[in-house]
């Protein structure tokens, strides 16, 4: 795995970093300050991959990702569902009675309101969870804690004061593993697949209704459909779509063909095996 180069957005210790370590242990890992730079990294090096969060079970979709997908036209190699477990981190020697403030990403702050309110902590918003842990490690103020991962505590030599402090236990982030010139897997009957695409409808009445009819008549299940505006205009909308099935299956081909009749553009982002996390328990 040492020859594989993986990039993610954020600081070392981020949940994206945890996903990198889990999926590609021993690989060369690069932390990028922005999503734009992360996408650019894979676009410029066809031998690299990136791990991108696209949605969270509590917070919804990740901002900016949908605009970068059509811009860089990377292919989806796989998906991964990562459980998010927040922890209250402090400097060594700090006790709960010393804390007055807690620092983290806005979403992490929102997801840990019970403990914040219980101990009447004031919040400090940071760019990301791992970054808040990094900032904490540089200072000497014991009145400040951070909400971040176990890996952040390990990397920045911080103490875990409280584990699993999130309000909801079913906090899961879905990641896409992407790269350039990735070949899609051949269809196998005993496996389940996801096909993802982005399309732009023709600006005519009932275009969305008509294009979705092809999925209904061909019995193709959609697992995700989201709209996002085309930049610099309010007149047109792009759609991101995930469907259950492989592009080599006839019913999927017919549904996508019907979709194509009503679109100005249709880009297949990837065909990949469905994560086992999708299986209903």
Q: Which two tokens stand for residue 133?
A: 């842990």
The number of angstroms, rounded, from the C-alpha of 272 to the middle of its chain's C-alpha atoms is 16
- Reading phi first (left if > 0) and then psi (alpha if -120 to 50, else beta), residue 34 is in beta
Q: Which two tokens stand for residue 266?
A: 């249709």
Mention every residue, 6+ apart, whose C-beta is less than 8 A from residue 219. Answer: 251
Active site residues per annotation: 173, 175
Q: Which two tokens stand for residue 220?
A: 């193709």
Least Cα distance to 56 among 150, 170, 145 occurs for 170
Q: Are 87 and 164 in contact (CB under 8 A)?
A: yes
Least Cα distance to 273 among 171, 190, 179 occurs for 190
Residue 4, classed as helix, strand or coil, is coil
Q: Are 206 and 166 in contact (CB under 8 A)?
A: no
């Amino acid at each position: 795995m040492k020859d594989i180069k993986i990039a993610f957005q954020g600081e070392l210790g981020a949940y994206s970093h945890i996903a990198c370590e889990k999926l590609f242990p021993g690989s060369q890992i690069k932390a990028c300050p922005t999503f734009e730079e992360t996408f650019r990294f894979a676009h410029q090096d066809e031998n690299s991959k990136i791990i991108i969060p696209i949605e969270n079970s509590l917070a919804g979709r990740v901002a900016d990702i949908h605009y970068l997908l059509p811009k860089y036209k990377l292919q989806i190699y796989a998906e991964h569902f990562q459980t998010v477990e927040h922890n209250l981190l402090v400097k060594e020697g700090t006790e709960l009675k010393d804390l007055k403030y807690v620092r983290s990403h806005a979403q992490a702050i929102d997801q840990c309101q019970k403990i914040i309110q219980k101990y009447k902590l004031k919040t400090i918003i940071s760019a990301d969870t791992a970054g808040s842990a990094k900032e904490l490690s540089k200072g000497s103020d014991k009145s400040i804690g951070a909400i971040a991962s176990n890996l952040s505590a390990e990397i920045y030599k911080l103490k875990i004061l409280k584990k699993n402090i999130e309000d909801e236990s079913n906090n899961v982030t879905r990641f896409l593993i992407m790269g350039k010139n990735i070949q899609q897997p051949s269809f196998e009957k005993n496996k389940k697949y996801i096909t993802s695409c982005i399309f732009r409808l023709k600006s005519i009445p009932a275009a969305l209704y008509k294009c979705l009819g092809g999925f209904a008549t061909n019995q193709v299940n959609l697992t995700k459909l989201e709209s996002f505006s085309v930049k610099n205009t309010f007149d047109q909308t792009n759609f991101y779509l995930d469907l259950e099935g492989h592009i080599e299956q006839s019913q999927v081909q017919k549904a996508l063909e019907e979709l194509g009749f009503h679109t100005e553009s249709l880009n297949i982002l990837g065909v990949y095996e469905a994560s086992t996390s999708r299986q209903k328990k």
